[in-house]
Amino acid sequence: MKRTLILLYGVVSYAIFFASFLYAIGFVGNLFVPRSIDSAAVVPFGQALLVNLGLLAAFAVQHSVMARPAFKRWWTKFIPEAAERSTYVLFSSLALIALFVLWQPMGGVIWNVENTLAVGVIHVLYAFGWALVLVSTFLINHFDLFGVRQVWLEFRGKPYTPLKFDTPILYRWVRHPLYVGWLFAFWATPTMTVAHLVFALLTTGYILVAIQLEERDLMDAHPEYADYRREVPMLVPGIKRGSSARRALAR
């Protein structure tokens, strides 16, 4: 019975995540959803800014703290280990849903692209970003990343085996194609409002910090990650870490 409940918990957590992921596409792109990033402003600018900063900060803290190994070791004293990843996914989804519900549009236009061809290109880049996010997760085992594999193995009575370090396709070009996808999704917009700019700037800043925290954990878990980090660029293909220094020493 316990294994069945854990499995159901994991599946429901994943379903909530996937629904929030789909809503996020509409929210950021002002597509098909009742309340988006650029809906009509309803509160004064200063109040809206403070609310939005708080929502983004809450998501960043939750997302980072619960991902750290020390927190996981503490957290699994209270919840089944097999449900730890599903719990992280659920809390992240709830933080994202809170952002959707409480977000305050702020008005003001930074840029507005009107050329039909340019607008079409930007929309393609926006779709590309979300597609890249999803594809990147499947390349490294989508269902392990979102906790489904863990609860399924528990349901079948099999021990969880951590994934081996691997660099499939896109991960040979950049270390974080998933984050590259997020950046495309957050910045590719024909109309950049103040609210959207605040969202894009803060999420970009968070991504850059999160990469440092994530890579520190990866180097602890996978000694080979240090060499991978030196040889493969972080976000931009073709820019290798330390390549200039190595060329200088070789002279």
At 26, list the tokens: 């509409």
DSSP at 193: E
Q: Calculate mean pLDDT across residues 234-244.
A: 71
**Is residue 244's pLDDT more than 80?**
no
pLDDT confidence band for 241 (50 / 70 / 90): low
pLDDT tens profile 147-204: 999 999 999 999 999 888 888 889 999 999 999 999 999 999 999 999 999 999 999 9
pLDDT confidence band for 242 (50 / 70 / 90): low
Q: How far apart (Å, rounded) are the C-alpha atoms in residues 117 and 123?
A: 10
**Is residue 66's pLDDT more than 60?**
yes
Q: How far apart (Å, rounded) are the C-alpha atoms in residues 187 and 205?
A: 13
pLDDT confidence band for 221 (50 / 70 / 90): confident
DSSP at 79: S
Neighbours of 216 (CB within 10 A): 13
DSSP at 83: G
**Contact (Cβ atoms closer than 8 angstroms) between residue 28 and residue 37:** yes
**Is residue 249's pLDDT more than 60?**
no
**The three-state (H, E, C) secondary structure of 122-145, written as one string:** HHHHHHHHHHHHHHHHHHCCHHHH
Quick one: pLDDT at residue 162? 87
Quick one: pLDDT at residue 192? 95
> Side chain identity at 249, as an amino acid letter?
L
**Contact (Cβ atoms closer than 8 angstroms) between residue 146 and residue 93:** no
Q: How far apart (Å, rounded) are the C-alpha atoms in residues 56 and 63?
A: 10
SS3 242: coil
Percent of the chain with pLDDT over 90: 75
pLDDT tens profile 98-113: 999 999 998 889 999 9
Q: How far apart (Å, rounded) are the C-alpha atoms in residues 23 and 33?
A: 7
Quick one: pLDDT at residue 240? 67
Output the CA angle 109-111-112, nearest 5 degrees: 95
Cβ-based neighbours of 195, under 8 Å, separated by 6 or more: 37, 38, 48, 52, 103, 104, 105, 106, 107, 108
The most confident of the ranges 101-110, 112-121, 219-228 is 112-121
Query: Domain boundaries in the chain?
Result: 2-240
